[in-house]
Chain A
């Protein structure tokens, strides 16, 4: 259920609750009309009209949300509640439940991915095969290095993190999955060759590349 603050003509305001019916259509209840002045509302309606509450899906006046949130817990809102009755938090609870369910699903997916059997990279030959299979089509390893501009050594690779852009990665045909796999390959190189001067930094760089590509 949501509470609607609806601007009418000639300085009047309609206040009403909308409940979600079984057929998903909104059911309006407790509708009253008062003057905007009596609520202490002034200025253009776009600054205060809208919906109070989080369950505004079917009505959707998101442009007013900021203004409404600004009014929350103010004397005006308390007065509106006293006129219409307290808005229950069913919609908010539902919204939170949806978000929590999404978080649980995300965690589950991440854990599944973490627990999924991964290619075991126990030799540099394994790493080579893995790297090669994660090159964009038509690109050789030298060209891949030229795109990443990782230089020699971990410090150089980590400095590159600051300038890496999603556009250059996309343009080169690199996907987040490729970048993840290259990061894992460099982790394996660092494990197999602990004195390798570049692998750890390049793993960090490729993780950042994967993040950029995922977050775009």
Chain B
């Protein structure tokens, strides 16, 4: 079954670091990096590009997100967000 076409320009997903240590999040193919502190959650916002599926790779010492990232927001404990990359 073909999924419904998105009407949003952006696709969002949240990603939590529960490893107990800070980890780098590499943003590819931009080649940039941000730190996700231990026990923090980030919201990754991708620009919508038909046919491209964002992918997250778990490497030994870092995470790698492959896709057309528009911005990354840190999600505060009260649910508010602040931009830590892009925008």
Contacts and interface: CB of A to CB of B under 8 A. Distances in A.
B31 interface: yes
Contact of B66 (A127, A141, A189): A141
Most buried by A among B29, B47, B49: B29
B29 A141 contact: yes
Nearest to B59: A152
A152 B49 CA distance: 24
Given A125-B47, A132-B68, A141-B66, A189 B30 contact: yes
Most buried by B among A142, A157, A196: A142
Most buried by A among B53, B62, B68: B68
Given A124-B70, A125-B70, A141-B66, A131 B29 contact: yes
A198 interface: yes
Contacts, number: 63
Given A125-B47, A128-B47, A128-B49, A142 B66 contact: yes
A145 interface: yes
B20 interface: no
A16 interface: no
Interface in B23-61: 26, 28-33, 47, 49, 52-53, 55, 57
A196 B32 contact: yes
Given A124-B70, A140-B66, A145 B49 contact: no
Given A124-B70, A142-B55, A132 B32 contact: no
Interface residues of A, number: 24
Nearest to B32: A196
Nearest to B26: A152
Contacts of B4: none
A17 interface: no
Interface in A127-162: 127-129, 131-132, 140-142, 144-145, 150, 152-153, 157
A127 B28 contact: no
Interface residues of B, number: 20
B86 interface: yes
Contacts of B28: 141-142, 145
B68 A128 contact: yes
Contact of B31 (A132, A140, A142, A152): A152
Nearest to A142: B66
B59 to A, nearest CB: 10
Interface of A: 124-125, 127-129, 131-132, 140-142, 144-145, 150, 152-153, 157, 186, 189, 193, 196-199, 202
Smallest CB-CB A-B distances: 9 pairs = A198-B31, A142-B66, A128-B68, A141-B29, A196-B32, A125-B47, A124-B86, A128-B47, A199-B31
